[in-house]
Structure 1
Amino acid sequence: MGSLTEISVVTRKSIIFITIAVIILILIRLSIKVGIDYWKATHPVPIPPPNVFFGKIPSPKFPQSATTSSNLKFTLENIEGRPPETTSAGRVYAIIQKTPTILSSQRAKAFASKLGFKNEPEIISPTYYKFINDQDKLLTLEIDIVTMNFKLKYDYTKNPQIFYQGNIRSKDQAINDVKSYVGNNGLFDSFTLNGKITGDLLKFDMATKTFSPASSLSNTDAIRVNFFRSDLDGLKVLPPKFNKSLTYVIYSAASSNNWKYPEIIYTYWPIDYSSFATYPLRSATTAWQNLIDGEATIIDMGRNNPDNIIIRNIYLAYYDSEEPQLYLQPIFVFEGDNNFVAYLPAVDNQWLD
């Protein structure tokens, strides 16, 4: 009996000792983990410096007609109450540079023929052709035979009645009709078709022969369907006119395709996503000061008093130029009240030509 009691006591003590040992091991392990985490937090792995692989790069080609931010007064009113924290380095991507081949002319003519242009083109330059439809002289096609960027236009200023052929049912229907038409006819690349698509309601002015924003669907004569690029590296890819894409289609309620889609503009510069370099970027604080100092480009002045422009948002984006560029690079975007927008190169000035 005594030996059983002794065994029971020893067993209980063993269990206690084992439990204590396990607790100690757990505490040691937690202490080591906390220590390692603290070391990592206080001794972060150095971020590799920008490799500036492309060397100095050209400044982004903002619209030549745009003005600078000089002689304007700005006030920053954002959530932070100061310029935001932004990354100190960013990617710059190479734009694929196409060159003419012996098949370039043939390919452009085949594309034109598919759209109903059977006549020989007018040679504007060795790489730029203009076709005129032999059935309707108001319908023209201009095409860069190297890039295959094109402008398909029906001169609606000489026949504005095309905008009064019926009623546009909805913006969604316009977008779906346009996507189906350009997709089925192979007019746009897959990246463009899978990007961001928006629609702007338009009213046609018979006196000025121009479009202006329509206040509602009921007085809409046409819809501009915008095809924006998808975001890249979590950043927007913005065109020169900010909310108007380089590639777009004007849509009407007419039944004939030439009238239903009286303007189709395709401008696409292919990005080499496998070829990029990293570059130092100016800080948002520096960018804000550059805006104040008159170094930014005004994309849209909006309805603002030059002496009191309120900026609500500062952020990084990529710039997609209407003109051919060697690189796709980051810019700072300043958005303000009453539709104000300004752009500024984000790459540090020492790496810009």
Structure 2
Amino acid sequence: MSLTELSYYLRKFLPFGILILLIILILYYLVQLAILSIQPEQKTNISLDPVFGKIKPPILGKTTSSAGLNYTIDTLEGTPITATSSADVYFLPTSPVRFGYREKIYLMAKTLGFDTEVVKHKLEGKEAVFKDENQTLTIDITNFNFTYEYSFENHPDIFEGAQAPDKTISISNAIEFLKTVDRYPAELTQGKTNAILIKYDPALRKIFLTKEELSANMIEIDFYRPDMGSYIVVSPEYYNSQNYVMMVQSSSGYKIVKAQVHFYEKSEAQIGIYPIKTGDAAWQALKTGKGWAIQNPNVLRDVVIKEMFMGYLDPDIYQEYLQPVYVFLGENNFVAYVPAVADEYFIE
């Protein structure tokens, strides 16, 4: 066969050869798809270790049910998103009454300006209360959580000469104060801080939030736990922490007018792994009143949810577990929480 003839037959039969090859490849992939379609679906194994058995859902104090509102989701995803299949739940052990607590609570009271030679504490259950005509201090004698309030509304003179607070200096002063009263837990040293500028009008006896340092005459420094892995920690009020120091700054120093630490140490040894609600289940729980409306300042009836994610609720009142919640952020500063652990693992 000459080269001319070979070239002729190649040109004649090459398209048929390519077509046959394509048919074979198509048949091969069809057979592979058929095999995959008849194989049983592989189930994803979820690592669980619910060591505490059924647990109580999170406890929140001054909140209202998420029921009675009309919800619409308008997130980037457009649908509820499942955060994860399982998550850690941490045990919060109780603290016994500590030996020598009396010395410590009197040191705390003296630091805050109480004349402890005159003002003595009253024990109300596990709380020691110091009170005079200007201020009140309540201390839990088991863990030294405390709440302090100075009646600055009755003392407008402390705002005479008040300076616009510097955020950096105020954070440093707040940390110094917590160290002085010996209630600056290690986890709070590792978490973020947030400075909130405040303008107090002594004539109106009202507080206003402001973003302008020059118009502020008070500042609140909030302290938070560090993130739990890839999940943030949220407080019972979301926009404010239950661990804070509020002060007035002047040329002569600073005056603490409010302060609180309600912090519960978590166990690093007692950790359970619990299944988490799907995003759809959390969304239904929100709509059916099985969540909490944490913030609804405009008293909205129709709520548009713009963001949904999971975080850990840092409690301000004692409960046995530090556990996750789904967080729903809406327009006009609306915030709602839904317990994230699957319902079948909750005590009814």
TM range (shorter): 0.7 to 0.9
Q: 292, 313, 323: which one pairs with 1:297?
A: 292
How far apart are residue 48 of structure 1 and its match?
Answer: 4.7
Q: Percent identity?
A: 26
> 2:251 and 2:125 mapped to 1: Cα distance?
36
How far apart are residue 160 of structure 1 and its match?
Answer: 2.5
Q: 33, 54, 57: which one pairs with 2:55?
A: 57
Q: Matches of residues 311-322 of structure 1 in structure 2 within 5 Å? A: 311-322=305-316
Whether the aligned pair in 1 keeps the contact of 2:46 and 2:85 (CA below 8 Å) is no
Corresponding letter in the other structure for 1:315: F
> 1:126 and 1:62 mapped to 2: Cα distance?
21
How far apart are residue 328 of structure 1 and its match?
Answer: 0.3
> 2:162 and 2:178 mapped to 1: Cα distance?
22
How far apart are residue 234 of structure 1 and its match?
Answer: 1.6
Residue 256 of structure 2 corresponds to residue 261 of structure 1? yes
Whether the aligned pair in 2 keeps the contact of 1:107 and 1:145 (CA below 8 Å) is no
> 2:111 and 2:201 mapped to 1: Cα distance?
32
Whether the aligned pair in 1 keeps the contact of 2:127 and 2:140 (CA below 8 Å) is yes
Q: 1:245-272 deviations in whole A, cap 9, x for unaligned? A: 0110112123566x62221211111111
How far apart are residue 242 of structure 1 and its match?
Answer: 0.3
* Cα distance change on mapping 1:266 and 1:207 into 2, 3 Å: same
> 2:58 and 2:218 mapped to 1: Cα distance?
32
Q: Structure 1: state its 5+ residue gaps.
A: 1-41
> 1:230 and 1:94 mapped to 2: Cα distance?
17
* Cα distance change on mapping 1:185 and 1:143 into 2, 3 Å: closer
Q: Give 1:336's aligned residue.
A: 330
How far apart are residue 217 of structure 1 and its match?
Answer: 1.6
> 2:70 and 2:110 mapped to 1: Cα distance?
54
Corresponding letter in the other structure for 2:286: L
> 2:321 and 2:234 mapped to 1: Cα distance?
14
Residue 92 of structure 2 corresponds to residue 95 of structure 1? yes
Q: 1:323-351 deviations in whole A, cap 9, x for unaligned? A: 10111011110011111100010111111
How far apart are residue 145 of structure 1 and its match?
Answer: 1.0
How far apart are residue 112 of structure 1 and its match?
Answer: 3.3
Q: Matches of residues 232-243 of structure 1 in structure 2 within 5 Å? A: 232-243=228-239
Residue 63 of structure 2 corresponds to residue 73 of structure 1? no
Cα RMSD (Å) of the superposition? 2.4
Corresponding letter in the other structure for 2:268: Y
How far apart are residue 96 of structure 1 and its match?
Answer: 2.2
Q: 260, 265, 272: which one pairs with 1:277?
A: 272
Deviation above 6 Å: which 4+ runs of structure 1? 42-45
Q: Give 1:34's aligned residue.
A: none
SS state of the match for residue 271, structure 1? coil
* Cα distance change on mapping 1:190 and 1:102 into 2, 3 Å: closer
TM-score (norm 2): 0.80
Q: Structure 2: state its 5+ residue gaps.
A: 1-39
Corresponding letter in the other structure for 2:51: F
Q: Matches of residues 1-353 of structure 1 in structure 2 within 5 Å? A: 47-63=45-61, 65-117=62-114, 118-119=116-117, 121-132=120-131, 137-183=133-179, 186-207=182-203, 209-254=205-250, 260-303=255-298, 305-307=300-302, 309-353=303-347
Q: 1:172-201 deviations in whole A, cap 9, x for unaligned? A: 332233223433553422321331101111
> 1:339 and 1:187 mapped to 2: Cα distance?
31
How far apart are residue 109 of structure 1 and its match?
Answer: 2.9
> 2:316 and 2:129 mapped to 1: Cα distance?
19
Q: Give 1:15's aligned residue.
A: none
Whether the aligned pair in 2 keeps the contact of 1:121 and 1:129 (CA below 8 Å) is no
> 1:256 and 1:151 mapped to 2: Cα distance?
25
Whether the aligned pair in 2 keeps the contact of 1:164 and 1:221 (CA below 8 Å) is no
SS state of the match for residue 202, structure 1? strand
TM-score (norm 1): 0.79
